[in-house]
Amino acid sequence: MDMLENLNPEQRLAVEHGEGPALVLAGAGSGKTRVIVHRIAYLILRGASRPENILAVTFTNKAAQEMRERIHRLLGPSRSAEPLISTFHAFCVRLLRREIHFLGYRQDFSIYDTDDQKRLMKQILEDSHREELSAREVLSRVSYAKNHNVTPEVYAHRFPSETAEEIAALYRTYDSRLRKANALDFDDLLLKTVELFTRYAARRDHYSNWFRYILVDEYQDTNRPQYELLRLLTARHRNVFVVGDEDQSIYKFRGADIRNILSFEKDFPGTRTIKLEQNYRSTQNILRVAGAVVEHNTARKGKTLWTENHAGDVITCHRASSARSEACWVVRRIQGSQLENPDWRTAVLYRANFLSRNFEDVLREEGIPYTVVGSVGFFSRMEVKDMLAYLRVIHNPEDDVALLRIVNTPPRGIGSSTVEALTRKALDEGIPISQALQAVACHPLTPARASRSLRRFHEMLDAWMALRDTATIAGLLERIVRDTEYQAMLEKQESLEEAENRMANIEELIRAAAESQAREETVFEFLDRASLSSELDQIDTNARVVLMTLHSAKGLEFDLVFLAGLEEGLFPHAQSLNSNEDLEEERRLCYVGITRARQKLFLSWTPFRRSYGADAGMPAFPSRFLDEMPGDLVEGLGESGPTYVRDEEEDYDRGQEDMETPFRQSRRSVIRRPSRQDAAAAEPAASRTAFRSGMRVRHAQFGDGIIMNRVRIGNDFKLTITFSRVGKKTLIERFAKLQAL
DNA sequence: GGACAAGGGATTTTT
DNA sequence: TCCCTTGTCC
Ligand SMILES: Nc1ncnc2c1ncn2[C@@H]1O[C@H](COP(=O)(O)OP(=O)(O)OP(=O)(O)O)[C@@H](O)[C@H]1O
């Protein structure tokens, strides 16, 4: 089978592994993901399994999508059935939509995302007059308890503390409110599936018999329920094949348990363990630096990693005089690199999202196209969430959180005191808020105006619900926008510009709904995708320059990588300094960052980063991870130690840093004055076929038209197009699938 | 009930 | 610095 020719002997061993548990334990860039892809193709081509009996689990939806495409490429087109490739969460949702009635929920359950959870917990804190606690804190404790099979009843006993009783009470309320709302949070998606399989062996056997081969990527970041799920699903056939790297476990804060991978061989006796030691991604220098850093950790098995790639450049570390100056330094190097290697893909990686600011500013000023992961994703925009909340209420009227979100959005005379009356009534009677509308409207103490508003809202809701099974989702959404005068609200609240952007997003959502139905998906499949889609799933993989957190970068690779903000207190983060366990996780994060780089790696830091815009008292020290790197492979480490004299604002046109770099001549020719056109010209590379205003284009649905205007909004471009057939429309370029004429 | 201003708190990482 | 919550006034 020639497919095996592109694999080294160890990889091939893994791909050809027969039945029974297997663990591929290997360092970064050694081809773990590649092994999964090839193994799936191999199982299918060799006839070991039909495609649909294979389940592969990835960490993100994006990774799932990519894996699907890679398998297609190996297998060639036109297969009738497909393997199921999905995240754990998406897999569970799919399954629960069919099976959850066993657990007493209705199949039209809602999914509460982090924002919904917070709203619910805030509400609970208010109701129980515990407003001194932060919803976020309580939720993280509750989540931890849930994921460790600790019920509210035993919580105080298991985790004794001053607030334990309180937390336990809140936990109990939270759970019962979720259940009453016919809603599941992200944790529940996994936990309810585990519960289903535990309580109903027949259901477990059904799925276990169906999915004969189960493969898991990034196993080092699985949590306990995911582990249990895996055990339940593979108890019979034991065909569980996982790949991972204990040095890349970076999601402890989300419940990931590194012990899953460390004790896999014990958990699944008879495991065949395969190590991959050749790295295909990075230069020798990059690999050695990465290895030197992670070697300072103790909670690891240790591994060798070598490469046939060339030594590559020495890594450069730069100490900047301010965060702004750091960004200028990085951008100047990006400009140089883009002249030298126009097709290189670049990533700027940092510890926390707020650090993207300066890089965005400078990139925009220089007119360099870029995308940011972590800016507000499409489905988390306010206007989109509003619309989704309407849909959720219509399909699951018990969804109190969604109802409270929209009950007075747009403002319709149902103010805070009326809302309070509604929640009180619902709480007292143990009914959903949608059922309290009527009662509160009729209540003698409700003011006439409020009563009228409630009746009107109730009628609208009824009307929409009557349409829910006959109208299309798109039609229903259009109707909601119209009935609620949503656009008028936007125009009143914000600039016309902003209102237009938001309406364009709503129109996009409506089109997405139409496409979803054209694919014969149910409304729930549409809503589920919205709930589970993350920003990372929406990024343009072809973008030349990507800004993102180190966490988001896991699993990706870039020719050129910048690791910015390497300061004590920031990276490693201050919160991790007093626990060795947490510190080791930070170090793994650093290892992940370094090993994203194929060709070149640059490091940077500044003693003088401002926090909250103000001067941050003491200058910062360079990150300890810099000290852990071998001095002969990294230049500029000597610039260590904070200088207490601040440089003058260092202009990027005359910085005195190494002019000896190959980027030298390129620089002068590239630096220009920032201008408006430049900013507008900054566009995702995928669309570099450059749509411009004045251009004639064709749209699948609207026909031919002329682009009147094109503006950047976040990672997207908003196009105003006049179509000859349907007139003026505002579209988002990324989704519009336009064809230039 | 809603518009607007002032003030305080926020930044760790996300399916 | 900025955003969101809270308080004040119509
Ligand atoms: N046998 C091989 N021959 C050529 N290239 C390979 C081979 N194996 C892997 N690669 C390449 O090495 C790079 C890393 O592979 P892959 O992403 O599968 O590694 P990984 O172990 O999953 O990495 P990470 O742990 O960093 O996510 C990819 O560009 C891949 O194409």
Distance of C1' in B4 from CA in A417, Å: 20
A612 CB neighbours strand C below 7 A: yes
Helix (H) or strand (E) holding A563: strand A558-563
- Ligand 1 site, residue A555, Cβ cutoff 6 A: yes
pLDDT at A642 over 70: no
Q: Which of A10, A66, A218, A326 is catalytic?
A: A218
Residue-level pLDDT at A712: 67
Query: What is the C-alpha separation between A558 and A735, in angstroms, rounded?
Result: 25
Does A88 reside within a domain? yes
Q: Are A116 and A79 members of one domain?
A: no
- Ligand 1 site, residue A6, Cβ cutoff 6 A: yes
Q: Are A226 and A89 members of one domain?
A: yes
Does A306 reside within a domain? no
Q: Are A355 and A485 members of one domain?
A: no
* Residues found in chain A: 741
Residue A592: both structure tokens together: 């992940």
CA A222, A227, A228, A233 dihedral sign is: positive
The alpha carbon of A39 and the centre of ligand 1 are apart by a number of angstroms equal to 14
**Sheet hosting strand A558-563, strand order edge to edge:** A371-372, A545-549, A346-350, A558-563, A597-605, A315-319, A634-635
pLDDT interval class at A708 (50, 70, 90): low
Distance of C1' in C6 from CA in A146, Å: 34
Which residue is nearest to the C1' sugar atom of B13, using CA? A551
Residue-level pLDDT at A725: 67
Residue-level pLDDT at A685: 35
Q: Are A96 and A212 members of one domain?
A: yes
Position in ligand 1 atom list of the atom nearest CA A555: 27
- Ligand 1 site, residue A8, Cβ cutoff 6 A: yes
Distance of C1' in B7 from CA in A493, Å: 22
3-state secondary structure of A29: coil
Residue A529: both structure tokens together: 């995708």
Q: Are A389 and A357 members of one domain?
A: no
Query: What is the C-alpha separation between A422 and A434, in angstroms, rounded?
Result: 9
- Ligand 1 site, residue A249, Cβ cutoff 6 A: no
Q: Which of A12, A32, A554, A624 is catalytic?
A: A32
Rg (CA), chain A: 27
Are the beta carbons of A244 and A259 closer than 8 angstroms?
A: no
pLDDT at A675 over 70: no
Query: What is the C-alpha separation between A58 and A55, in angstroms, rounded?
Result: 10
Which residue is nearest to the C1' sugar atom of B15, using CA? A89
The alpha carbon of A278 and the centre of ligand 1 are apart by a number of angstroms equal to 9
3-state secondary structure of A557: coil
The two counts, helices (H) then strands (E), for chain A are 32, 20
Query: How big is the CA angle at A318 (ends A315 and A323), to the nearest 5 degrees?
Result: 135
Last-in-domain residue among A485, A503, A532: A532
For ligand 1, mutation pick of A33, A70, A217 (most atoms within 8 Å of CB) = A33
pLDDT at A133 over 90: no
Question: Residue A241: which CATH number?
Answer: 3.40.50.300
Q: Are A89 and A220 members of one domain?
A: yes
Residue corresponding to tokens 């009996």: A53
pLDDT tens-place string over residues A480-499? 999 999 999 988 888 888 88
Q: Are A223 and A274 members of one domain?
A: yes
Helix (H) or strand (E) holding A482: helix A473-484
Does A664 reside within a domain? no
Q: Between A736 and A598, whose confidence is greater? A: A598
Catalytic site includes residue A11: no
Q: Highest mean pLDDT range out of A168-182, A699-713, A723-737?
A: A168-182
Query: What is the C-alpha separation between A515 and A236, in angstroms, rounded?
Result: 39
Task: Print the SS3 string covering A44-93.
Answer: HHCCCCCHHHEEEEECCHHHHHHHHHHHHHHHCCCCCCCCEEEEHHHHHH
Tell me which residue has its CA closest to atom 30 in ligand 1.
A31
CB neighbours of residue A445 within 10 Å: 7
CA atoms within 13 A on the CB side of A314: 14
Alpha carbon separation from A690 to A230, A615, A652, A707, A719 (Å, rounded): 46, 41, 29, 12, 12
pLDDT tens-place string over residues A290-339? 999 999 999 888 888 999 999 999 999 999 989 999 999 999 999 999 99
Query: What is the C-alpha separation between A457 and A453, in angstroms, rounded?
Result: 6
Last-in-domain residue among A616, A635, A654: A635
Does A684 reside within a domain? no
Does A51 reside within a domain? yes
SS3 content of chain A, % helix, strand, coil (to 5): 50, 15, 35
Residue-level pLDDT at A78: 61
Domain assignment of residue A726, given as a range? 695-740
CB-to-strand B under 7 Å, chain A 30-49 = none
Last-in-domain residue among A157, A181, A205: A181
Catalytic site includes residue A252: no
pLDDT interval class at A727 (50, 70, 90): low
Span of A448-462, A608-622, A722-736 with lowest mean pLDDT: A722-736
Q: Are A469 and A511 members of one domain?
A: yes
Q: Are A407 and A510 members of one domain?
A: yes
Q: Where does residue A388 rank: exposed (0-12), middle (13-18), buried (19+ CB within 10 A)?
A: buried
- For range A673-701, the mean pLDDT: 50
pLDDT tens-place string over residues A164-175? 888 999 999 999
The alpha carbon of A557 and the centre of ligand 1 are apart by a number of angstroms equal to 9
Q: Highest mean pLDDT range out of A210-224, A301-315, A605-619?
A: A210-224
Span of A73-82, A111-120, A667-676 with lowest mean pLDDT: A667-676
The DSSP result for A491-505, as a single string, is: HHHS-HHHHHHHHHH
Query: What is the C-alpha separation between A323 and A359, in angstroms, rounded?
Result: 9
Packing angle, helices A224-234 and A186-199, rounded to 10: 30
Residue corresponding to tokens 């046939």: A308
Does A348 reside within a domain? yes
A351 CB neighbours strand B below 7 A: yes
pLDDT tens-place string over residues A425-447? 998 999 999 999 999 988 888 88
A610 CB neighbours strand B below 7 A: no
3-state secondary structure of A20: coil
Query: What is the C-alpha separation between A434 and A234, in angstroms, rounded?
Result: 42
Query: What is the C-alpha separation between A217 and A230, in angstroms, rounded?
Result: 13
Residue A182: both structure tokens together: 């016919």
Q: Are A209 and A70 members of one domain?
A: yes
Residue-level pLDDT at A673: 23
* Domains of chain A: total: 5
Q: Closest nucleotide (CA of A357 to C1')?
A: C1
Question: Residue A519: which CATH number?
Answer: 1.10.486.10
Tell me which residue has its CA closest to atom 18 in ligand 1.
A31
Residue corresponding to tokens 């003698």: A444
CA A269, A274, A275, A281 dihedral sign is: negative
- For range A528-534, the mean pLDDT: 89
Percent of chain A with pLDDT over 90: 64
Query: What is the C-alpha separation between A405 and A385, in angstroms, rounded?
Result: 9
pLDDT tens-place string over residues A404-430? 999 998 999 898 889 989 998 998 999
For residue A152, cis peptide bond before it (omega within 30 degrees of 0): no
pLDDT interval class at A719 (50, 70, 90): confident
Does A653 reside within a domain? no
Catalytic site includes residue A248: yes
- Ligand 1 site, residue A277, Cβ cutoff 6 A: no
pLDDT tens-place string over residues A39-96? 999 999 998 999 999 999 999 999 999 999 999 988 887 667 889 999 999 999 999 9
Beta bridge partners of A605: A319
Q: Which of A707, A540, A587 is nearest to A298 (CA)?
A: A587
Residue-level pLDDT at A1: 57
Q: Are A199 and A51 members of one domain?
A: yes
Are the beta carbons of A365 and A458 closer than 8 angstroms?
A: no
Query: What is the C-alpha separation between A319 and A337, in angstroms, rounded?
Result: 20
Catalytic site includes residue A218: yes
Which residue is nearest to the C1' sugar atom of C3, using CA? A612
Residue A96: both structure tokens together: 């629960």
Catalytic site includes residue A185: no
- Ligand 1 site, residue A4, Cβ cutoff 6 A: no
Does A511 reside within a domain? yes
Q: Are A426 and A522 members of one domain?
A: yes
CB-to-strand B under 7 Å, chain A 643-702 = none
Query: What is the C-alpha separation between A568 and A570, in angstroms, rounded?
Result: 5
